Amino acid sequence: MTLLVVTAVEPEAEAVRAGLPAGRVRVAAVGVGAAAAAAGTARLLALAEAAGSPYQAVILAGIAGGFADRAPLGATVVATRSIAADLGADSPDGFISLDELGFGTAVAPAAPTLLASLRESLPDAITGDILTVNTATGTAETAETLARRFPAAVAEGMEGYGAARAAADATLPFAELRTISNTIGPRDRAAWRIPDALAALTKAARSLGL
């Protein structure tokens, strides 16, 4: 399988490359946020298609915040679904999702075969929904609201749904793989464990020979 692994930033890409087994895997940083992830992933897929060497699957990899009591620091998480948590509309009665508005879906399920391969390769990984947000959570109130709205969510990032949409438009299987650097909630940079999460990402990348 010719696999494209996209990350938000270069340190994540370097961590993935450091753990990759020999094989046909391309790793590229495409930028922070869902829009950058969608545009960057779509561009790489189009270029590969035009060159006659198309990719066969896409994985978004990186570090993320984990929900307390669901995904501890250093854990590896694999998305069953990548969900655009704040894509929709505000209202006096609360948030209205894109699905509820009838304008499409904010939910991108992981490809079953790809998800199964990752689960087999990473038996200790936590599986669940990974939220895609445009603004990283920084308060206990927002963390509690998200945890209540998405009881199956284990982590949040900023790129998964965007990369998933690019893969879907190219009719390619997609999955999201993250390692946990911080707990979702009040921003406490002193408590972040980014080097540990990057090291865990290198270890997890060994599964990407698929």
Number of domains in the chain: 1
Rounded-to-integer distance, Cα 19 and Cα 111, Å: 23
Amino acid 128: pLDDT: 98
CB-based contact 53:71 (threshold 8 Å): no
Query: What residues have CB less than 8 Å from 84, skipping those under 6 apart?
Result: 34, 98, 106, 107, 131, 132, 161
Amino acid 209: pLDDT: 64
Beta bridge partners of 194: none
Rounded-to-integer distance, Cα 5 and Cα 93, Å: 39
What residues make up the domain containing 14? Answer: 3-209
**pTM of this prediction?**
0.94
Amino acid 23: pLDDT: 73
CATH number of domain containing 132: 3.40.50.1580
Q: Quick one: tokens of 193?
A: 């464990």
User: What string of pLDDT tens digits covers the 210 residues of the chain?
Assistant: 699 999 999 999 999 999 997 677 999 999 999 999 999 999 999 999 999 999 999 999 999 999 999 999 999 999 999 999 999 999 998 899 999 999 999 999 999 999 999 999 999 999 999 999 999 999 999 999 999 999 999 999 999 999 999 999 999 999 999 999 999 999 888 889 999 999 999 999 988 865
The residue behind tokens 């299987």 is 173
Amino acid 210: pLDDT: 57
CA–chain centroid gap for 69, Å, is 19
